[in-house]
Each structure stands twice: as C-alpha cells, then as structure tokens.
Amino acid sequence: MYWSEKQECMSRQEIEQTQLACLNKTIERVYYNVPFYKERLDSVNLHPEKINSLSDLQEVPFTTKEDIRKHYPYGLFAAPMKKIVRVHASSGTTGKPTVVGYTKNDINTWANLVARIVMMAGGTEDDVAQVAFGYGLFTGAFGLHYGLEKIGTTVVPISSGNTEKQVMLMKDFGTTLLVSTPSYALYIAEVAQEMGLSKEDLNLRIGLFGAEGSTEEMRIELEERLGIIATENYGLSEIIGPGVSGECTFKTGMHIAEDHFIPEIIDPDTGKVLPWGEKGELVITTITKEGFPLLRYRTKDITSLTIDRCECGRTMARMAKVQGRTDDMLIIKGVNVFPSQIESVLIGMEHIGPHYQMIVKKKGYFDTLEVHVELIAGKMLEKFSELEKLEGEIYHKLRSILGLDAKVKLVEPKSIERSTGKAKRVIDLRK
C-alpha cells in the first residue's frame, strides 16, 4: 500500500527531472534569501542559472552543523519569520542547539512524507499508534504524530517515559503500532514481561523504530519479544525530522523520499562523491523546503545507497542501515570501532542481555576500551569460573571482530541505565 504511488514509483528519469527542477528553485530561493548561501555560491562562481544538470550540484560547497550553529538561531532561514509556523531544535551535547523552522507548506510536506513511511511499514487507518517519543523540540514525536493522523490512524500521544503506564495503556487501548527508538522498545518489552504480560496479551503488530541505529540482531529480538514486524526509519531535524527514509515490509533498506531530498555518498576525508553501492558519509540537499532549505548537508552518518529494484515496487533509492556516525566512530589504538559492531556480537549470546556500554579511557598514551555487559536476571551464573568463562568468550569474539583487546566486565542485571529516548552506549572519558 502506498501513500503517494505516483511519486513513490516514478521512473529514474522522472525522478531526475523532478530533482533538477526542484533543485533550481531551491538554489534560487537560498541565493536570494540567505546571505550565507549567496556568499558561498559566489565564492565558487556558481550563479543560480549555472545549475543545468544534477551533476552541477557537485560544485556546490557542503553545509555543516557548524555553519548552522554559527547562524543561530534563525540566520539560515529562507522565509520571513511571519511565514514560519513551527520551530524544532536538536539538542547538541555541547553548546547551543541547532534550530530549524517550518512554513505551513513544510509542515504539510512533512506530514505527507511521514504518512509514506507509515504506510510503507504496513500502517493503516485501522491502527492504534502509540507515540513513545518525547514531545517537544525533538522532531520525533510531532513528526510521526501528524503523519499518522494524516493516514487516519488513532494516535495515542503518550510521549516517552513512564514505562509501566505505557505498557498498561498499550494493553487497555489495544495499541497495534509502536513508535519509539529501538532501545526504548526493548525496555518496554522488558517492563511488560516484568508486569507479567506476554506478547499475546498485547495487540501490537508493527514497530516503527528510528532516531538511533540498531542491528539486525536487535530487530529479531524486538520482533520475537513483542510479536511485531519491526521496521526502521531515518531522519534528522536539520533535513526535516523523521520521514527522510523508511523501510517497506521487505526490509531491504530505507527508501529515501528522492522527490524531496537529493542524497549523495561522499568520502568523508576527501569530500569526493562515491558511486552507488559504496559506503561513505551521507550528504543531503533538500529540494522542496521553504523555511529551512539546506544544500549538501553533511549528515555525518555512514551508509550506502542502492537503486536496485525493490519488490515493493517503489523506485526511490534505498539507504542501508546507518553503520555509525563519523563522529561517534571511536578510534581506539588506531582501530575504528562502532557501537553497532559490539552490539552484533553481544545480541544472541546466552546469559547476557542486549544492554551494554562502552567505556573508553586513556591510560598514559594509550586508549583502553572496557565493555560492560549486563547479565540476564534469573540466569545469573553462580559459579565464578562460569562467569570468567563467559567473559573470556565475549573477549575473544570482540577481538576477532574488532581486532582489538577490550576488557569485558559482566555486570548485574538492570545495572546499566535504561533510556527512554536515544540510548547512550559510549562513555568517552578521554577528553
């Protein structure tokens, strides 16, 4: 089932024609409305009428999060404030947040794009959707909310946290579709189990998970524990929020709304554009936004793109699971390490749960990695020798995958803090 079949199933030629027409309009819009872009485009001698083909986009300089921060709060808006009807912001860990603004048309576009990803995942007007993202400046909750309403699902705007009540309402309201981060969904599953509820007691059928990475192993765990089809979606506040891309039920990558965004993959070190299929940093240009358009925004997310045929019939390019961010890629003793690699080793091993944390420290000149892994309640191994054996097993698996010696520490059940939003997997104490 499609939300907008005509757009989602265009031929490649139609997609490219649409992209070029919209790109031209966007370049003109930012050139004449945002001094930052005028300066940037002038600096490479790229007047708007010089963009005659999609490949000309490669001449346009990148935009970074730093650029947005420097123009805090509204300096990159391309519409007058009276036309801006909503702002959202992403909370950086340090400094000021990045602020994004939407016109009425942008809000409408956004709802349509989210409606697409909900229907791709199998959602319909018969669903009861529990939005367990935090409502607020974060784009997750409001983004999903309006898209779900557009389709006609019954929305339960419960927000994140208050997990026991979350489970109680899930049962009483007959929730069929859960919207959350994958890590929070796992926590919800744990609490449901503690409350004595099995998946058969709940009515869930679809998970729409996003806002953070997760592995295939995590998907399987969520599907088994909650009795759902777990789909993933991706987005970032700077680009629009959720709705940039999402999986259909074939789960072979996330379809990008290419009629609104032009994706590119670049080598993060050289900035060179890479061909389809190659892994690198995702760069996105928005081509229909009015309030806050961005040209060649460096997402820092590492993935690859494909336009191979998808069985669902959609023709839009698909992006692979995000492997990590160029800035949460840890470099430990010269080795590149992503939390997702650790997760795929841990999930599926006996006696341990899916909760872990990586602690990176500096010892003299050397970096050290300690991985804390939680034991499963009730399966607590009593014999010290068995604990040691398990630690050794994890240590060897991590070493063979990462090529790195990590100290493994098994910790008590429930001792690692649960998150109700994006999970904090890495504690970097080196700075």
Q: What residues are paired with 246 via a beta bridge? A: 233, 255
Smallest distance, Å, CB 13 to ligand DLL?
29
* Least distance between ligand DLL and beta carbon 387 (Å): 33
Distance CA 426, CA 339 (A): 7
Report the alpha-carbon distance of residue 241 to residue 248 in Å, rounded.
Answer: 18
**Which residue intervals of 98-180 are DSSP H helices?**
104-120, 139-151, 163-172
What is the rounded distance in angstroms from the CA atom of residue 286 to the CA atom of residue 258? 9
Q: Which two structure tokens, joined as six digits, stand for 429? A: 């104490």
Which of 273, 286, 211, 312 lies closest to 37, judged by CA?
A: 286
Q: What is the nearest approach in angstroms of ligand DLL to the Cβ of residue 390?
A: 29
- DSSP H stretches of helix in 4-103: 5-8, 12-33, 35-43, 65-70
Nearer to ligand DLL, 10 or 116 (CB): 116
Residue number, 210 or 263, with CB nearest to ligand DLL: 210
The radius of gyration of the chain from alpha carbons, rounded to an integer in Å, stands at 22
Nearer to ligand DLL, 139 or 368 (CB): 139
Q: Which residues pair with 209 in a beta bridge?
A: 180, 232
Q: Which of 208, 219, 134 is nearest to 175 (CA)?
A: 208
* In the block, residue with structure tokens 């993060």: 268
By beta-carbon proximity to ligand DLL, the closer residue of 137 and 307 is 137
Q: Which is nearer to ligand DLL, 213 or 263 (CB)?
A: 213
Q: How far is the CB of 133 from ligand DLL (least distance, A)?
A: 6
In angstroms, what is the minimal distance from the CB of 362 to ligand DLL?
25
**Would you say 31 or 184 has its CB closer to ligand DLL?**
184
Residue with the CB atom nearest ligand DLL in the bound state: 210
- Beta strands (DSSP E) in 320-395 are 324-325, 330-332, 335-337, 352-363, 366-375
Q: Which is nearer to ligand DLL, 148 or 352 (CB)?
A: 148
Decide: 322 and 213 in contact? Cβ < 8 Å. yes
Query: In angstroms, what is the minimal distance from the CB of 383 to ligand DLL?
Result: 39
Task: State how far the Cα of 229 lies from the Cα of 207, in Å rounded to an integer.
Answer: 6
Binding region for ligand DLL (CB under 6 A): 90, 133, 138-140, 210-213, 232-237, 241-242, 299, 301, 322, 325
Which of these, 213, 244, 214, 251, lies nearest to 117 by C-alpha position? 244
Our CB check for ligand DLL shows the closer of 183 and 237 to be: 237
Least gap, CB of 99 to ligand DLL (angstroms): 11
Shortest Cβ 227–ligand DLL spacing (Å):
22
